[in-house]
Structure 1
Amino acid sequence: MLIVAFEGWNDAGDAATGALRAIRRSLDLVEIAAVDPELYFDYQFTRPTVTTAPDGTRSLEWPGAVLYGPTGATPEPGEPQLTGPGADAAHLLVGQEPARTWKGFAAELVDAALAADVDGVLFLGAMLADAPHTRPLTVFASSENPEVRSSFGLERSEYEGPVGILSVLAAAAEQAGLPTLTLWASVPHYVHQSPSPKAVLALLSKIEELTGWSIPRGDLEREAEDWVANVDALAEEDEDMAAYIEQLERHRDAVDSPEASGDAIAEEFEQYLRRRGDGPVEPWQRPGS
Structure 2
Amino acid sequence: MTDGNGFLGGRLLVVAFEGWNDAGEAATGAVRSLKQLLELSEMTRVDSELYFDYQFNRPVISTGEDGRRKIEWPGAALYGPVEPALPGTAPAPADDLAVGGADAGNIYLLLGTEPSRSWKAFAAEVIDGALTADISGIVFLGAMLADVPHTRPISIFTSSDNAELRAELGVERSSYEGPVGILSVLALAAEDAGIPTMSIWASVPHYVHNAPSPKAMLALIDKLEEIVDVVIPRGDLVAEAAEWESGINALAADDEEMAAYIEQLEQARDTVDSPEASGEAIAQEFERYLRKRDGRDGRDGRPGPDRPR
The alignment's TM-score, normalised by the length of structure 1, stands at 0.94
Q: Distance in 2 between matches of 1:139 and 1:264?
A: 16
2:160 counterpart letter in structure 1:
S
Q: Is 1:180 matched with 2:191? A: no
SS of the aligned residue for 2:275 comes to coil
For the Cα contact (< 8 Å) 2:199–2:308, is it kept in 1?
Answer: no
Alignment match, 1:212: 229
Q: Distance in 1 between matches of 2:114 and 2:62?
A: 21
Q: Distance in 1 between matches of 2:238 and 2:161?
A: 32
Q: Distance in 1 between matches of 2:139 and 2:253?
A: 39
Q: Distance in 2 between matches of 1:240 and 1:202?
A: 28
Q: Distance in 1 between matches of 2:210 and 2:59?
A: 22
SS of the aligned residue for 1:120 comes to strand
Q: Distance in 2 between matches of 1:250 and 1:161?
A: 29
Residue in structure 1 matching 2:307, options 276, 282, 285:
282
1:194 counterpart letter in structure 2:
A
- The alpha-carbon distance between structure 1 residues 156 and 226, as it changes in their structure 2 partners (threshold 3 A), is same
SS of the aligned residue for 2:136 comes to coil
Alignment match, 2:89: none
SS of the aligned residue for 1:187 comes to strand
Q: Distance in 2 between matches of 1:110 and 1:131?
A: 34
Question: Once the two structures are superposed, what CA deviation does each residue of 1:61-102 show, in whole Å capped at 9, x if it has no partner?
Answer: 111100001111999x98711111221121100000111110
Alignment match, 2:249: 232
2:307 counterpart letter in structure 1:
E
Residue in structure 2 matching 1:10, options 18, 21, 34:
21
2:14 counterpart letter in structure 1:
I
Q: Is 1:146 matched with 2:157? A: no
Residue in structure 2 matching 1:156, options 153, 173, 179:
173
SS of the aligned residue for 2:124 comes to helix
- The alpha-carbon distance between structure 1 residues 73 and 9, as it changes in their structure 2 partners (threshold 3 A), is closer
For the Cα contact (< 8 Å) 2:142–2:308, is it kept in 1?
Answer: no
- In the alignment of these two chains, the number of paired residues is 283
* Deviation of 1:283 (Å): 4.7
Structure 1 runs (4+) greater than 6 angstroms displaced: none
SS of the aligned residue for 2:79 comes to strand
Q: Is 1:122 matched with 2:147? A: no
Q: Distance in 1 between matches of 2:26 and 2:257?
A: 26
1:190 counterpart letter in structure 2:
Y
For the Cα contact (< 8 Å) 1:28–1:73, is it kept in 2?
Answer: no
1:199 counterpart letter in structure 2:
A
Residue in structure 1 matching 2:113, options 96, 99, 103:
96
Q: Is 1:46 matched with 2:57? A: yes
- Aligned-CA RMSD value: 1.7
Q: Distance in 1 between matches of 2:200 and 2:84?
A: 30
For the Cα contact (< 8 Å) 1:158–1:283, is it kept in 2?
Answer: no
SS of the aligned residue for 1:162 comes to coil
SS of the aligned residue for 1:92 comes to strand
Q: Distance in 2 between matches of 1:100 and 1:14?
A: 22
1:280 counterpart letter in structure 2:
P
Q: Is 1:255 matched with 2:266? A: no
The alignment's TM-score, normalised by the length of structure 2, stands at 0.88
- The alpha-carbon distance between structure 1 residues 143 and 98, as it changes in their structure 2 partners (threshold 3 A), is same
Identity of aligned residues (%): 61
For the Cα contact (< 8 Å) 2:21–2:144, is it kept in 1?
Answer: yes
* Deviation of 1:25 (Å): 1.2
Alignment match, 1:273: 290
Alignment match, 1:243: 260
Alignment match, 1:110: 127
Residue in structure 2 matching 1:55, options 66, 74, 95:
66
Alignment match, 2:79: 68
Q: Distance in 2 between matches of 1:8 and 1:283?
A: 15
Alignment match, 1:287: none
1:4 counterpart letter in structure 2:
V
Q: Distance in 2 between matches of 1:39 and 1:192?
A: 30
For the Cα contact (< 8 Å) 2:158–2:308, is it kept in 1?
Answer: no
Question: Once the two structures are superposed, what CA deviation does each residue of 1:7-44 show, in whole Å capped at 9, x if it has no partner?
Answer: 01110000000100111111000001000011111111
* Deviation of 1:155 (Å): 2.8
Q: Distance in 2 between matches of 1:145 and 1:177?
A: 10
2:240 counterpart letter in structure 1:
E
For the Cα contact (< 8 Å) 1:160–1:283, is it kept in 2?
Answer: no
* Deviation of 1:281 (Å): 4.0
Task: Provide structure 2 residue ranges, at least 5 long, that are not aligned to the other structure.
Answer: 1-11, 86-91, 298-303
* Deviation of 1:55 (Å): 2.7
Task: Provide structure 1 residue ranges, at least 5 long, that are not aligned to the other structure.
Answer: 285-289
